[in-house]
Structure 1
């Protein structure tokens, strides 16, 4: 038993020599959702607190991401989040994709899927009150509607 613990400790220590890259991709403010949509300050604060760590190029890496394999898991989670929706490059999406991603965001907030429970454990500031959820979903619905209207897209169409 003691041998197994020593081996596990050695493996754990060895893993620490393989940290994750915490460099965020460079992006232009001219492509960022909050900037391009002239998001009101109170709504922008909510979006940044609840969404931006996983869904933008402005990730704040907490101290525990320096511990492996936690850091690897977090990096993969962030990569997947950015692939799904990246607010830092939102203006590069087609109008159809922008509208669809906003519609999906509303669904995920309403259903309680987002922000993730695992994220909320270490980021209590991201926990949304019912009023904050309403503020976000109302704003996202308005932005979706504006995009659909300005590009003559059908309502509730999928990309």
Structure 2
């Protein structure tokens, strides 16, 4: 009886692997001219700590393809790209950019990168000085 139950559980888990969330992909080749224009220092911080969810340069780790973790990982990426994609920056209206700048100022100190993300990506951890630099960049662009 226990073997049968175990078989059903394993079978169900294998079937669940076919459930995937589609994350947005570029409809045309990425145009680097649309990418956000910032200093090399700020760009380095954004690429290290933000681009996995807020660009098309996502590096999905192995566990990001395994249910149920894939649901969480890909959901965060999908929502992140919908809210902000640094590689689509020049396609945004000035109003949207202002909303993003304000959002960065509000979230960079406490909410971003997500604590759950940082648990698995220690290299994405930002120092307070780095957070302040990103915040100052965003704040300097608010009109």
The equivalent of 2:126 in structure 1 is: 128
Q: Does 1:32 align with 2:35?
A: yes
What does residue 155 of structure 1 align with? Answer: none
For 1:107, the equivalent position in structure 2 comes to: 106
> Where does the alignment leave 5 or more consecutive residues of structure 1 unmatched?
149-159
Work out whether 1:11 is the aligned partner of 2:12.
Answer: yes
**Secondary structure at the residue paired with 1:53?**
helix
How many pairs are equivalent? 140
Structure 2, unmatched stretches of 5+, are none
Structure 2 equivalent of residue 89 of structure 1: 88
Give the structure 2 partner of residue 67 of structure 1: 66
Secondary structure at the residue paired with 2:126? coil
CA contact (8 A) 1:31 1:90 kept: yes
TM-score normalised by the chain length of structure 2: 0.86
Structure 1 length normalisation: TM-score? 0.78
Instruction: Say which SS state the counterpart of residue 54 (structure 2) adopts.
Output: coil
Pairwise CA distance, 1:72:
2.7
TM-aligned CA deviation for residue 114 of structure 1 = 0.7
| Worse overlay, 93-102 or 15-24 | 15-24
TM-fit CA distance, 1:22: 7.4
Instruction: Assess if the C-alpha contact under 8 Å between 1:20 and 1:66 holds in 2.
Output: no
Residue 78 of structure 2 corresponds to 79
Alignment partner of 1:60: what SS? coil
Whether the 8 Å contact between 2:24 and 2:78 is mirrored in structure 1 is no
Q: Name the stretch that deviates more: 67-76 or 120-129.
A: 67-76
Distance 1:69 1:43 in 2: 34
